[in-house]
Amino acid sequence: MKLNRMITLCAMAAALVLSVGSAFAQDNGNGANGNANDNAGQRRQRGGGGGNFDPAQFQQRMMDNIRDQLNFTNDTDWNAVQPLVQKV
């Protein structure tokens, strides 16, 4: 009976220690008093907000990079291969 109490006590202590560790791991907003809007404003000022993302422009840059990597200089050849690359 005493062994069961010791095991239970050790398990509860371990659970308490693990839960306290995760409570201290919470993000405090990087000094912005925990306000998510302040934090988002700081990201925008640094240029990392991503508000002007254009998917078509991103896809075109990716296609240009792949074309350069595959060394396609002829537009006719690239136009034949491009739809196959876009599928991937």
9 pLDDT band (50/70/90 cuts)?
A: confident
Q: What pLDDT was estimated at residue 25?
A: 64
In contact, 49 and 43? CB cutoff 8 Å: yes
63, 85 Cβ separation under 8 angstroms: yes
* Residues 46-75: b if buried by 16+ CB within 10 A, e if exposed: eeeeeeeeeeeeeeeeeeeebbeeeebeee
> Could you tell me the two tokens for 31?
């000094």
- pLDDT for res 14: 72
**Residue 65 confidence class, pLDDT cut points 50, 70, 90:** very high
